[in-house]
Chain A
Amino acid sequence: GAGVSQTPSNKVTEKGKYVELRCDPISGHTALYWYRQSLGQGPEFLIYFQGTGAADDSGLPNDRFFAVRPEGSVSTLKIQRTERGDSAVYLCASSYRPGYGYTFGSGTRLTVV
């Protein structure tokens, strides 16, 4: 597609529930990144995919967070047993090579109540 698409744009969930956030990168971009942006902060790195594999997941805060990219394009960020502290905007970005030419999506605003 023309840009990075993230769905849903907004998600409200109850504490303890499971959520999935979807990212559709720019066609042909092999690198895909997830970031989390809390209110008043800059984005923080979560995980990086090169193709289908997670090349760097050092930013995932704990084992409730997991992400997949089974066919090397669309990625899903999964959060189990959500907590109020997980409330943030989750941003996805893609690029044709690491560190260069990032394009960000508009993000998914997750609110845990």
Chain B
Amino acid sequence: GEDVEQSLFLSVREGDSSVINCTYTDSSSTYLYWYKQEPGAGLQLLTYIFSNMDMKQDQRLTVLLNKKDKHLSLRIADTQTGDSAIYFCAEFGSSNTGKLIFGQGTTLQVKP
């Protein structure tokens, strides 16, 4: 079945780059998403990538997709303390109902 896996925790220093990784199982995924969740808040869409792309850059965010290995990563350049949050990877899979399958989230801690 569909499954999305993420590492649970990442700690970086302010100003460094952060790389959050995700693996998924559904080879027919069409879109892959990254969401950010701050404490007590809803999910904020950060960026997404179509499955026919290898890379997408959006300001400080770079998404890399390795479709062969079903591996997705999110790189945050010049990480700031305001980037501290939980980051979720999600796939829009083979179902045509648009449901997203989420990973369990990676907590990013940014130390000053």
Please list the residues of chain A having a beta carbon within 8 angstroms of any beta carbon in chain B: 4, 31, 33, 40-45, 48, 50, 55-56, 59, 91, 93, 95, 97-100, 102-107
CB atoms of A56 and B102 under 8 A apart: no
Residues of A within 8 A of B97 (CB): 48, 50, 55-56, 98
CB distance from A86 to the nearest CB of B (A): 19
Most buried by B among A31, A42, A45, A95: A42
Also in contact, A56 and B99, with CB within 8 A (given A40-B104, A42-B88): yes
Chain B 89-104 residues near chain A, CB threshold 8 A: 90, 92, 95-104
CB distance from B29 to the nearest CB of A (A): 10
CB atoms of B98 and A44 under 8 A apart: no
Tally of A-B residue pairs with Cβ under 8 A? 63
Q: How many residues of B contact A (CB 8 A)?
A: 24
Check: B10 CB closer than 8 A to any chain A CB. no
**Stretch among B11-19, B41-49, B55-63, B74-82 lining the A interface:** B41-49
Please list the residues of chain B having a beta carbon within 8 angstroms of any beta carbon in chain A: 4, 30-31, 33, 35, 41-45, 88, 90, 92, 95-105
Give me 12 A-to-B residue pairs in the complex whose CB atoms sit less than 8 angstroms apart, sorted by A's number. A33-B99, A41-B105, A42-B4, A42-B105, A44-B102, A48-B98, A95-B98, A98-B97, A99-B99, A104-B35, A104-B44, A104-B45
Chain A binding surface SS class: strand
CA distance A98 to B44 in the complex (A): 18
CA distance A95 to B104 in the complex (A): 22
Residues of A within 8 A of B96 (CB): 98
CB atoms of B102 and A99 under 8 A apart: no
Most buried by A among B30, B99, B103: B99
CA distance A44 to B102 in the complex (A): 7
Residues of A within 8 A of B102 (CB): 42-44
Residues of A within 8 A of B98 (CB): 31, 33, 48, 95, 97-100
CB atoms of A104 and B104 under 8 A apart: no
